[in-house]
Amino acid sequence: MSLFIKHYRPGSIFKKQILWRLNSSVAENHESEEEFRVLDILKKRDKQQKRVARRIDVPADRAEKMSTDQNWGNVWPGPRSFHPSTVPLPIRQGFVPKGQVPPGKKANAELMKIPNFLHLTPPVIKTQCEAIKKFCTEWPKLLNSEEAIEKHYPVEVITSDYCHASPTIRNPLARVVTLRVKLSTLNLDKHAKDKLLRLVGDHYDEKTDLITLTADRCPMRRQNLDYVNYLLTACYHEAWTVEDWEKEKMEADMEYYDWNNNQSKKNLVNWYHKCINKDIALSEDEYKSFDTSVIDHGEEYKLAVSSLFNDGEREETINNYDTAVRKLLGLPERKPIE
């Protein structure tokens, strides 16, 4: 067919007819052999059948199928993010619009952001304690009271841990360390005790007899713990140190009133010896070491005089001094003025 088209001469009607006939005969012979496919440009699409949505049976949440007597430790064995289908509790959390209830547990980002303690329920904790019990030592039988614990472990260290919703689990306040110890538990003499009190200053509470040292200047808790231990050790050893200039201190240079080194005690001892008809000349050391507890109401008089000088003249200290003197001299109590 291409050959005829190539040698076709325009204007020749006879050849055109022959060409047509020849082409028609070729087409008829070709159609007889196989069907001629026609290109239909404007072919209409066949209507597609509508898909019938098949209903899929979605199983119920695991939380709805849980039994009430199950072992929760097997369901939630360790720390993990919140999963609503695993927790059979009607938990709600989030912003509450006016007149509405808080969002439920499903698709709740607030519940997934915060850490939870669902893996630390009391039965699970009890089971874990029983498991590690074989690796622990028994509690000492002598430490059966708070007094015994304070006697054998006088130093108390206080730290804090925080749990909050944040990109980091660290809290700056967790580095703060507080150390507390009773002054009476420290091995101090009179000079060392007085010097230690002056070193610690406001960190000593006279009512509770506690020395409280707090450290927060270091970034880590361990560093602050080492620092408070260093402070206590340094103050303790410095209190026992006696400088040369301290030996030169006179009674007028003392920061407090020491009743044993003052004339008030000498007067009391001399008065007592006269009352029992004894004329004894005592040295300075004998006056200082004399035990005033052998004198009736002597200790009460000692405390009243010391409080009057150290705490200042107040109505309370003056009344205590008046009462102590009357008891010491055997005088009747003062009657209130009506």
Looking at residue 97, what is its pLDDT?
A: 84
On average, the pLDDT of the chain sits at: 82
Output the CA angle 322-328-333, nearest 5 degrees. 50
- Reduced to 3 states, what is the DSSP secondary structure of residue 141? coil
User: Is the confidence at residue 172, as pLDDT, over 50?
Assistant: yes
C-alpha R_g of the chain: 50
CA–CA distances in Å: residue 24 to residues 19, 29, 35, 168, 202: 8, 9, 15, 88, 123
Instruction: Please give the average per-residue pLDDT across 5-17, as a whole number.
Output: 46
Looking at residue 41, what is its pLDDT?
A: 73
- Per-residue tokens: 275: 């009352």
Looking at residue 48, what is its pLDDT?
A: 65
Q: pLDDT of 237-263, one tens digit each?
A: 999 999 888 877 777 777 778 888 888
CA–CA distances in Å: residue 201 to residues 230, 235, 292: 17, 11, 31
- Does the pTM surpass 0.85? The reply is no
Q: pLDDT of 206-221, one tens digit each?
A: 899 999 999 999 999 9
Nearest of 120, 128, 122 to residue 79 by alpha carbon:
120
